[in-house]
Structure formats: structure tokens, C-alpha cells
Amino acid sequence: MSHKSKLPDVFNVEQIIQLFDAMDRPKVAMATALAFFCGLRISEICNMKIEDVDLVKQRLKVVDGKNSRRKFSGYGKDRYVPIPPQLISPLKKWLEIIQGGKWLFPSDKSPDSHIRKKSLGEQFKHTLKQANLLIPEREIEFKTRINGKKQSKIIIRHKYYFHTLRHSYATYLRDKGVDIYTISDLLGHSQVTTTQIYARISDTQRTKAINEAFNHQFSPYPNGYTTPPIQTPQIQNSNPSAQNEKDKLLEIKKLELEVEKLRLLKNQEKEVMCGVD
């Protein structure tokens, strides 16, 4: 299967809850929340400054984001991303905990620097393992040189990783009926064709289309016949969105409860965050 035809994996509601249940590091919890609720890339989260968080207008400013022509222009792209109402209170608490400074997610080793992508990725991988979501998908073999000798090395590619949160954000918006152009703008894509993959992932949209197409009564008799039409039973709507609404509310409440722990952990920040930067 080519890279272009492979659909990205996404988290469902139960898995998001599993993730936050397994988290014991406030910094990772807040970074995960921003990735899932705002669709940010891991580099955009690591490089975000406190001044880029506007709680009054409820938006984040993504500065110098990814740009396919960056090597020619020397600069990425800026964009604004709305902050969902459910995330305002947790963000306020997080800003109280870090107490000023420059970076929204400072490094544990040096508060004057931001957390590194590799560090955040490793900490999130630890959370995946704790939540039983570190699922091996395939092995990749590549050649390398160690002490001048050619050797083979195996890397395990897992099903989920930090960028899965961004995929889940886009898929969630598409499931809710947000148009593909708006999603493309929120994600900071240069071309809408890049975003169209989420139209292929959205089961809700496809299920809705099929249900609407078949959700009517059929008659085996052509118009004009005197015999009354025989009505076949209406096909039941299997759209799970109504039930999922309750799950989504549970998800949001769960996030609020998890991030509420930030206030309690304020005086224990150094002990809690003493892992890999």
C-alpha cells in the first residue's frame, strides 16, 4: 500500500479517556489536550509561547508553522486556532502553575528553553504504554554502520503516536459536519487536497449518507396501478451519533477532571515532572 493511499489511524472516545486516565504528568496532559482539542502539530506545541495564548479572544496563535516551501522562504506560516470553551479553564490553571516565563511548555532541565519534540514524543509514548495503547503495527528494517561495520537495525512502527491526536481532531470535526475547507484552514494545510483524506476516514459522514439514501419507504408497484402499494419496513437508522454525543460529553468532563489535578500537583511539580525532558 502506498503512503498516499494509507489512511491514518485515529483515537476513539474510549481511547482518549484511557489516555487521560493513564497520565501522571501534568505537562503531557496539557500538551495532549492542546493537540486533540486544537489540532496542533508536536512542533507547534513545543514552540508555543505564553504570549501566543489569548484567553480573552479564546484562540492560539501558531507562529512559524509548517510550510512546504520553508526552505525557499526561510519562514513557515502563521495562523490562529480557536480554543474550545472546555479548554479555557485547564489552560488558565496551567498558566498559574508555570508562573510566567516565556514558553508554554518549558523544558524541565532549562526553564529558559522549550520542551523538545523528542522528549514530548517519548513521554507520550510512555502514556500510550500505560494506557495499553502502544500497539505494534509493523517492523521496519534499515541498514546502518556501527564502528565502520554494516549492520541491520529493526524499528517497530506503532499504530498510534502523538500526531494521531491531530488526525483525531480533524476526523472529529469532519464527523460533526464541519466543511473540509474550514478544517484545512484550521490545520494550516497549504492545499485542501491534503485535508481530503479526512473525508475518507469519517465513518459518520458516510453512514449518514447511506442512511439518508435508504431511509424511506419502498413500493413494489409502479405509479398508476390500482393495487395499493405494499410498504416494506423502513430501514432503521444505524447512525451511532446520538449515542456518541453522550460519550463525547463524558470525554470532555473527563478531560476537565484530569487537568483539575494540575492545581493539586502545583507544589509537587518537580517530583512529578522528573522524567525525561
In tens, the pLDDT along 37-46 reads: 999 999 999 9
77-81, 184-188, 241-245, 264-268: segment of lowest average pLDDT: 264-268
Q: How many distinct helices (H) and strands (E) make up the chain?
A: 13, 5
Task: Give the rounded percent of residues in the chain with a pLDDT score beyond 70.
Answer: 69
C-alpha to C-alpha distance for 60 and 181, rounded to whole angstroms: 19
Structure confidence at residue 220 (pLDDT): 46
Helical spans, DSSP H, in the chain: 13-22, 26-38, 42-46, 70-73, 88-98, 117-130, 164-175, 180-187, 192-195, 197-201, 203-214, 241-264, 269-272
Q: Between the CA of residue 242 and those of 176, 238, 239, what are the distances in Å?
A: 12, 10, 7
**Burial tier of 16 (Cβ tally within 10 Å: 0-12, 13-18, 19+):** buried
Task: Grade residue 166 by pLDDT with cuts at 50, 70 and 90.
Answer: very high
Contact 135, 160 (CB under 8 A): yes
Task: Indicate the pLDDT class of residue 52, thresholds 50, 70 and 90.
Answer: very high
**The pLDDT of residue 157:** 84
Question: Mind listing the pLDDT tens digit for each residue in 115-159?
Answer: 999 999 999 999 999 999 999 887 777 677 777 777 777 778 889
User: At 66, is the pLDDT very low, low, confident or very high (cuts 50, 70, 90)?
Assistant: confident
Mean of all residue pLDDT scores within the chain: 77
Residue 267 has a pLDDT of 44
**Percent over 90 (pLDDT), the chain:** 35
Checking if the pLDDT of 251 tops 80, the result is no
Spell out a b/e string for 226-251, using b for 16 or more CB atoms within 10 Å of the CB, else e. eeeeeeeeeeeeebeeeeeeeeeeeb
The pLDDT score that the predictor gives to residue 50 is 96
* 172-229 confidence digits (pLDDT tens): 888 888 888 898 989 988 888 888 887 777 766 667 767 776 665 444 444 444 444 4
Q: Residue 275: what pLDDT? A: 42
Q: Which of 32, 26, 42 is nearest to 270 (CA)?
A: 26
Domains of the chain, CATH where assigned: 13-159+245-267 (1.10.443)
Q: Is the pLDDT of residue 11 over 90?
A: yes
Report whether pLDDT(78) > 60. Answer: yes
For position 241, what pLDDT does the model report? 52
Q: Are 86 and 37 in contact (CB under 8 A)?
A: yes
